[in-house]
Amino acid sequence: MGKKLGFSDLDEYLFGEGTHYEIYRLLGAHPTAKGKKKGVYFAVWAPHAASVAVVGEFNGWDEKKHPMQRRKNMGIYELFIPDVKEGSLYKYCITTKKGELLYKADPYANWSEKRPGNASRVADISRFTWGDSVWMNKRQSFDADKDPMSVYEVHPGSWMKHPFTEENKEGFYNYRQFAHALADYVKKMGYTHVELMGIAEHPFDGSWGYQVTGYYAPTSRYGTPGDFKYLVNYLHKNKIGVILDWVPAHFPKDAHGLADFDGTPVYEYADPRKGEHPDWGTKVFDYGKNEVKNFLIANAVFWMEEYHIDGLRVDAVASMLYLDYGREDGQWVPNKYGENKNLEAIEFFRHLNSVVLGKYKGTVMIAEESTAWPMVTGRPEEGGLGFSLKWNMGWMHDFLEYMKLDPYFRKFNHYKMTFSLTYAYSERYVLVLSHDEVVHLKCSMINKMPGEAGEKFENLKAGYTYMFGHPGKKLLFMGQDFGQLQEWSEERELDWYLLAEESHQKLQDFVKELLFLYKKYPALYANDHNPEGFEWINADDADKSIFSFIRKSPTGRNNLLFVCNFTPVERKDYRVGVPKRKQYKLILNSADPRFGGDHERSQQVYKAVKKNWDNREFSFGYELPPLSVSVFLY
């Protein structure tokens, strides 16, 4: 049971200022005691309600039995109800100024009824005993600029399923089973982090968790809040970081949710030109309202504090920054300067990132921002938004457009693979091949590739190697690392049976090799945000569709040379210019038979000679296989 609860005038003041970062400890439903009587303290913010009552299993859902008391200042209603047990279902019955009754789930609930039910559940989330102190202490020194970060993006409900039974009709792994299976896989493959989709409670599976109704509740689809803590704890004990998808951009209109919470727009902008997304049919948070900003910033703090989360990937940032995002003329309202920038959202991001990154050293805030908005990862005091990292959507688009081409046409689109280096240091980037790229008839990664089956695998291995050589952190969506053939669907598990086929197993072996290579050599990560860490050898060989470049480590030791051939033509006498008269050791050949290729290399070490090539004084010759990348250590 928690401590004795209740609002003070100071709590109300801080909430009104938007700076009560632990407001979730007061608002919501909290098991506690009043005198010697155990029960639950309920509190809700409903500033324009005529009255509010708690209804639930414990009072027959009767709105007359437990009316709440309104505090004088902020429109906060509170009530202690004795003898309410953990797990009890409840809602707030709100009587509007017009006399209508609204039955709303608790915005600050820590647990929810499993859909299709939508009531809140009483939970005591204070009882879990953490065992991840080694991870949490080490996290303090994590530096997103200089440390490796390879992220496995996962949707828990469709990663892997049990056979369907009467007891488990949906086949879901619960959080605890998922913890063990996922940790085993991620450790085997060599990823450093997982990014979990759809954890905050949401009513509709098909939204993938991007239309949230329970911001403070891990979804009950896979178990209890304690089960989710077990998942994070177990991943941490296995040295795996945990990032959550987080959605502060919008929320759905479901009757039990935040929309028109007390009969008026409370969480959303009142003007529908600001408060509604025409494309998505959702409501937009009012970033000018302190209590709403407090709800969201405290929510980010909540996941870090209560669940030891290591980072948040913030969804749909562009939709928040631009007042005209997805809107036609006449559908949006300019800011006070007549511009399309949402000044309130800009200030919200600076506040959010300053609080979270200031409070939780070693965590990351990652922006999914799809435009050229400047300084997304810049410091707030210098005019930036303050994110740690930004998804590189431009790189992703160009890379996929290039890789989808018949190799004959790649020479006319050579710039698609080089253009990203012109802006690679304008932000701190994550290179992403996310869930969005393998849905809605976009094809799976393997089926985006041109050619017959064998060529598809060679193309994909070459593409992945180029990605791992390019500056930026890395993210792969589940299934991409073994060549999932079908597009992803939240309704079914990944096609794990494909791993019985040699080509898929060897692709997975290759991605595993890449992931371990990435972590082994600082040249691939420690200079990600330093232009001195990357150097083109030849960026202009468009006719052959060959790219060669160097990744340099901060110490100058163990640098890596990449030679990438994106045509099905073998170059038996390929020569590459090099910076030094050194020995160059082949450490990765994507065409190696152990990865499904057919070009074994007996020679592993190549000595540079004094022969001018690629505008370099030294060079060496090498037999370059078709559709392949070779990586040399020097």
Please identify every residue annotated as catalytic: 315, 368
Query: How far, in Å, CA of 444 to CA of 81, rounded?
Result: 53
- The answer to whether the beta carbons of residues 70 and 76 sit under 8 Å apart is yes
- The answer to whether the beta carbons of residues 179 and 230 sit under 8 Å apart is yes
Report in angstroms the alpha-carbon separations of 44 from 185, 295, 588: 42, 12, 58
- The answer to whether the beta carbons of residues 296 and 348 sit under 8 Å apart is yes
- Tokens 């090498």, residue located: 622
Query: Partners of 214 in the beta sheet?
Result: 201
User: Which value, in Å, is the radius of gyration of the alpha carbons in the chain?
Assistant: 27
The one-letter code for the residue type at 17 is E
Query: How far, in Å, CA of 396 to CA of 430, rounded?
Result: 10
The pairing of beta strand 150-154 with beta strand 473-477? parallel
Structure tokens at 412: 């006319």
SS3 55: strand
Spell out where 522-607 has E strands: 534-541, 546-551, 560-565, 571-578, 583-589, 605-607
For residues 318-328, one letter each, b for 16 or more C-beta atoms within 10 angstroms of the residue's C-beta and e for the rest, the string is bbbbbbbbebe
Structure tokens at 259: 């929309």
CA 47, 48, 53, 57 torsion-angle sign: negative
Q: Which residues contact 403 (CB under 8 A, 6 or more apart)?
A: 448, 449, 459, 460, 463
Query: How far, in Å, CA of 437 to CA of 441, rounded?
Result: 9
Query: How far, in Å, CA of 285 to CA of 246, rounded?
Result: 14
DSSP state of 598: S
Query: How far, in Å, CA of 479 to CA of 456, rounded?
Result: 15
The one-letter code for the residue type at 602 is S
Helix intervals (H) in 360-497: 393-404, 407-410, 415-418, 445-448, 453-469
Chain centre to alpha carbon of residue 180: 21
Crossing angle, helix 290-307 and helix 343-359, to 10 degrees?
30
